[in-house]
Homo-oligomer: A and B are copies of this chain.
Amino acid sequence: MLLYKARFKIWLENLEGKRVFGDGLKELLEKIDSFGSISRAAEEMQMSYRQAWGKIREAEKRLNTQLLCSQVGGESGGGTVLTEEARILVTRYNKFRSEVEEAVERLFKKNLLAK
């Protein structure tokens, strides 16, 4: 029996049990933060602007919190920055995620690798 690795996926839910945040959105927000643009971030993640925008909007609704602050038109055509709340969420989620990763790895080795 060839078990090689345990994998996991985590996400956050609101009171109604709906997904509000996960790895995809986290990466998207991080890229928006570094490029100052939704479209650049989406491109970088090989997803369409349409999809990126839709996911963010849905999350904002479900969190009942604004994550982005956008500007249309202007010198570079426009742009987007993260709200302070979005920044805090990303930071805390990153810590949460890495600690879960560590735990999963440890528990996999402990319980499932040949004894």
* A residues adjacent to B (C-beta < 8 A): 1-15, 17, 20-21, 63-65, 85, 89, 92-93, 95-96, 99-100, 103-104, 107-108, 110-112
Inter-subunit contact B9/A5 (CB<8 Å): no
Name the residue of chain B whose CB is nearest to the CB of A19: B7
Q: Which of B2, B13, B92 has a CB less than 8 Å from the CB of A7? A: B13
Inter-subunit contact B6/A8 (CB<8 Å): no
List the B side residues contacting A9 at CB < 8 Å. 8-10
Name the residue of chain B whose CB is nearest to the CB of A85: B1
Minimum distance in angstroms from A54 CB to a CB of chain B: 20
CA distance A112 to B4 in the complex (A): 31
Inter-subunit contact A6/B11 (CB<8 Å): yes
Minimum distance in angstroms from A58 CB to a CB of chain B: 15
Q: Which of B1, B20, B92 has a CB less than 8 Å from the CB of A63? A: B1
